[in-house]
């Protein structure tokens, strides 16, 4: 049985993710109390269910502290489990809650400063979920539209079972560092194809841009340094029972240099498990 747990920050898109899984043929349960997870697994096994998805969050606050141990025990019993944690910047969450006028589940303070109370609730939730986040595949939804998030969920479902999933992600520093990154590399000091008129509209996936960057010794040096670092430290992360590692590479616009290096490194680390590529800025354009 394929089992997926959706969790994360309130307002981060868990409902969209759960609907995407439902459309993919999963039997979905929202807001399941953690203590009912094992009984649900037994019932669905008896029913010969193939795909089950469960959403849990701080609405089950009293039972959350024991959830990481519960998940560990389920895995030790031989049940494959994917934990997807949706994260979002505090600024984005404040805007979303303000736009929808919905109450945050932890917003119980009676105060005149509603924005401050909301930020306090978000930070408390972040602290309560921190241990769960440590062992999950983290997806930063701050800049994802619903259609883009659904595409990311489909990509997750298509991944092959492996000891580790390596995600290489390009991004633009001007739009902020991805919250789902385990490692962040800044490549803004490298020669920039943006200043070549014939390359400006292209991306790091295009042959002319790749040829331009291939000819620059500094780019090759940077690629080798990142590769050497990852080859040294990835085994240590995996020894700590990490199932997912996200490597984020950023340049100014997230279009040329970071995209090129992500494509290159993803090919080089293809034998380390399941490798997934994300181009945050390019993907966002496609979903506008």
CATH code of the domain in which 38 resides:
3.40.50.300
From 132, 157, 182, the end of a domain falls on: 157
From 109, 131, 157, the end of a domain falls on: 157
pLDDT per position as a tens digit, 232-245: 988 887 776 677 88
Q: Do 171 and 278 share a domain, yes or no? A: yes
What proportion of the chain, given as a percentage, has pLDDT over 70? 94
Number of compact structural domains in the chain? 2
What are 181's two structure tokens? 């990154």
Please give the sequence-ordered ranges of beta strands (E in DSSP) within 9-136, or none if there are none.
27-29, 51-55, 81-87
Q: Do 25 and 64 share a domain, yes or no? A: yes
Question: CA 117: distance to chain centroid?
Answer: 27
Q: Do 147 and 187 share a domain, yes or no? A: no
- Residue 150 CA to residue 144 CA, distance in Å, equals 9
| 38, 47, 49, 173, 188 from 42: Cα distances, Å | 6, 9, 10, 46, 51
Q: What is the pLDDT of residue 108?
A: 64
> Where is pLDDT greater, at 219 or 162?
219
Look at the block and give the residue holding tokens 């949706």: 86
- In this prediction, residue 37 has a pLDDT band, given cuts at 50, 70 and 90, of very high
Q: Which residues contact 24 (CB under 8 A, 6 or more apart)?
A: 51, 153, 154, 157
User: 3-class DSSP state for residue 273?
Assistant: coil
- Residue 168 CA to residue 145 CA, distance in Å, equals 20
**Residue 262: closest CA among 198, 200, 219:** 219
Helix orientation angle between 257-268 and 207-214, rounded to the nearest 10 degrees: 80
Q: Do 24 and 91 share a domain, yes or no? A: yes
Q: What is the pLDDT of residue 110?
A: 55
Q: Do 179 and 275 share a domain, yes or no? A: yes
- Residue 76 CA to residue 61 CA, distance in Å, equals 24
Q: What is the pLDDT of residue 88?
A: 93
Helix or strand holding residue 132 (H, E): helix 130-134
pLDDT per position as a tens digit, 91-148: 999 988 888 778 888 876 555 566 778 888 899 999 999 988 988 888 999 888 888 8
> For residues 104 and 126, is the Cβ–Cβ distance under 8 A?
no
Question: CA 152: distance to chain centroid?
Answer: 9
User: 3-class DSSP state for residue 151?
Assistant: helix
What proportion of the chain, given as a percentage, has pLDDT over 90? 57
The per-residue pLDDT of the chain, averaged, comes to 88
Give backbone dihedrals phi and psi of 138, rounded to 5 degrees, phi first: -95, 135
Q: Do 97 and 208 share a domain, yes or no? A: no
Q: Which domain holds residue 10?
A: 2-157
- Cα angle 227, 252, 284 (rounded to 5 degrees) comes to 90
Q: Do 199 and 256 share a domain, yes or no? A: yes
Q: Which residues contact 141 (CB under 8 A, 6 or more apart)?
A: 12, 13, 86, 87, 88, 149
Q: Do 10 and 153 share a domain, yes or no? A: yes
Mean pLDDT, rounded, for 183-211: 96
Q: What is the pLDDT of residue 271?
A: 79
Q: Do 50 and 110 share a domain, yes or no? A: yes
Highest mean pLDDT among 82-86, 154-158, 247-251: 247-251
Q: Do 144 and 16 share a domain, yes or no? A: yes
Least confident stretch, 26-35, 216-225, 249-258: 26-35
Helix or strand holding residue 92 (H, E): helix 90-100
Q: Which residues contact 184 (CB under 8 A, 6 or more apart)?
A: 177, 178, 248, 249, 250
From 157, 186, 216, the end of a domain falls on: 157
- Residue 138 CA to residue 12 CA, distance in Å, equals 11
Does the pTM surpass 0.85? The reply is: no
User: 3-class DSSP state for residue 12?
Assistant: coil
């Amino acid at each position: 049985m394929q089992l997926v747990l959706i969790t994360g920050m309130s307002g981060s898109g868990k409902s969209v993710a759960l609907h995407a899984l439902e459309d993919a043929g999963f039997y979905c349960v929202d807001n399941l109390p953690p203590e009912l997870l094992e009984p649900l697994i037994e019932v669905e096994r008896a029913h010969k269910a193939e795909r089950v998805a469960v959403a849990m969050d701080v609405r089950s606050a009293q039972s959350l502290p024991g959830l990481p141990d519960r998940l560990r025990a389920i895995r030790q019993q031989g049940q494959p489990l994917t934990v997807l944690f949706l994260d979002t910047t505090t600024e984005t969450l404040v805007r979303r809650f303000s736009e929808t006028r919905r109450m945050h589940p932890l917003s119980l303070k009676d105060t005149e400063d509603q924005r401050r109370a909301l930020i306090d609730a978000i930070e408390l939730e972040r602290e309560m979920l921190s241990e769960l986040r440590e062992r999950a595949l983290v997806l930063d939804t701050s800049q994802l539209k619903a259609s883009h998030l659904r595409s990311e969920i489909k990509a997750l479902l298509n991944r092959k079972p492996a000891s580790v999933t390596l995600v290489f992600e390009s991004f633009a520093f001007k739009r902020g560092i991805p919250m789902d990154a385990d490692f962040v590399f800044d490549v803004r000091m490298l020669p920039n194809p943006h200043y070549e008129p014939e390359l400006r509209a292209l991306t790091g996936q295009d042959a002319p841009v790749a040829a331009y960057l291939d000819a620059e010794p500094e780019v090759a040096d940077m690629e080798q340094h990142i590769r050497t670092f990852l080859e040294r430290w990835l085994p240590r992360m995996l020894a700590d029972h990490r199932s997912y590692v996200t490597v984020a590479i950023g340049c100014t616009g997230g279009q040329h240099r970071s995209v090129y290096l992500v494509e290159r490194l993803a090919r080089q680390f293809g034998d380390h498990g399941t490798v997934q590529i994300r181009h945050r800025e390019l993907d966002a354009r496609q979903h506008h």
